[in-house]
Each structure stands twice: as C-alpha cells, then as structure tokens.
Amino acid sequence: AVLERLLAGDGVRTLFHRDAALPTTVKLRVIGRQQQLLRIDFETAPSRELLAEKLADFDRLLPDADIVLLSDYGKGGLAHIATMIERARAAGRPVLVDPKGEDWAKYRGATIVTPNRAEFRQVVGRWRDDGELAAKAQALRDELGLGALLVTRSEEGMSLFTAAGADHIPALAREVFDVSGAGDTVIATLGVLIGAGAPMGTAMRVANQAAGVVVGKLGTATVTPDELR
C-alpha cells in the first residue's frame, strides 16, 4: 500500500497483484563511509497463478505501449519472459532487456540486451582485449538473434555491438559513491530515447551521461533533465 501510494504520487500507473502467502522482498544494504559494501536479499518466488495473471496484464497493455522494458532481477517475476518478447516483437514493439543469470536463450529476439561486465562474463567467459570481447559479443548476438548488445563496463565505459560493428564510449563518472541502480538508469534512459525515435548510438551516449550522474549519488538515485544538460 505504501509503495502504491508513493508511485501514484509520482504519476506512475501500477498493476500490483497481492498474495497473502508471499512476503515482500527485503534488500538489506550495508553502507560504510558513505559507500555501499554489500547487499543481502530476503525473498520468496511468486506463485504460478500470480505469474499467469501478470502475463494477462502484459497482453492487455502491449497494444498501447511504444516500447517494452524487461528488467530481470532473477527473482522469479519474469518466468514468462520468452513469451513476452515473442509477443512484443510480433506486435512490432522494440524490447529492451536487462539480463540476469547464465541462461540467455529466454532473451532470444530482443532488440537490445544490456548486461554489465560481470553479467556478460558469466555467459561468455573472460576476454583478453577489446577484439576478443567484440568477437564473443557478436557471436552471442548472432546466436540469439539480438538487434544489439550493450555491455556496461564500469570505469571502462560502454560498448555497443550491432550488425554494423562495435561502438565504444568512455565512462563519464567523476567520482563513484554508489553503483546501485546504475543499470536501471541505463535501460530506462535508453527506453525513453528509443521509444521517442532516437538512434541507438545517441540513446547510448545519453544513457552513459545519466549513469555518470547517478553513481555520483548515494543510494538508488534518479537523474533529472537539468542534470543531463
């Protein structure tokens, strides 16, 4: 109820389903000297019935959406992600995915997948240099039929891999206080810009600027248009 009220206050439309048997996930962050040291999660996976209801919500909302963002936290809420991507692409909607775990077959056909360095390494293994990174990225992109792969690389910036080749840009953060939510900022910014018709390269550069702003703030933070300007 508290979350619903806060989101309504910010003009965010929600479609929550309640399950009396399911405790709300708690994320415990340990902070030391104004920097996050680690996070401990207490969680329970959602029921099959709840997931079926969410898929029905998705089908109902899809016709009115310009773009679909699927942020996979590995908490069980996106058990139907392969079906969601399939239906969104059939409806002509771009699909952006923030991935989790080693099984990426479920992201097949997505427009853009946005792993961070560690998430990408978990899937393709280590690389010696940018050339090997590009080879691994393009092989995975081809295998899964992805429009693009955007690898966020912390202090090494970002690398975008498409059929046209690779595009690398440096990191912009002046000082890093807390990386919480940096990946969310990237995919949210990409979503807004691509949904508005911006080219992928432009969207990536603005997303990089947005990430540079939020990692300079403590906690999960937002970025405003004025900060980007």
Give 101-122 pLDDT, tens digit per residue. 999 999 999 999 999 999 999 9
**Residue 155: other Cβ atoms inside 10 A:** 9
In the predicted model, residues of the chain with pLDDT beneath 50 are: none
Q: What are the tens digits of pLDDT across the range 31-45?
A: 998 888 999 999 898
**Residue 225: other Cβ atoms inside 10 A:** 7
Please give the span between the terminal C-alpha atoms of the chain, in angstroms, as a whole number.
35
Catalytic residues: 184
For residue 173, what pLDDT is reported? Answer: 61
For residue 172, what pLDDT is reported? Answer: 77
For residue 171, what pLDDT is reported? Answer: 83
For residue 107, what pLDDT is reported? Answer: 98
The dihedral of CA 214, 11, 2, 68: what is its sign? negative
To 5 degrees, how large is the angle CA 106–CA 110–CA 112? Answer: 125
pTM across the whole model: 0.88
Quick one: tokens of 138? 């393009």
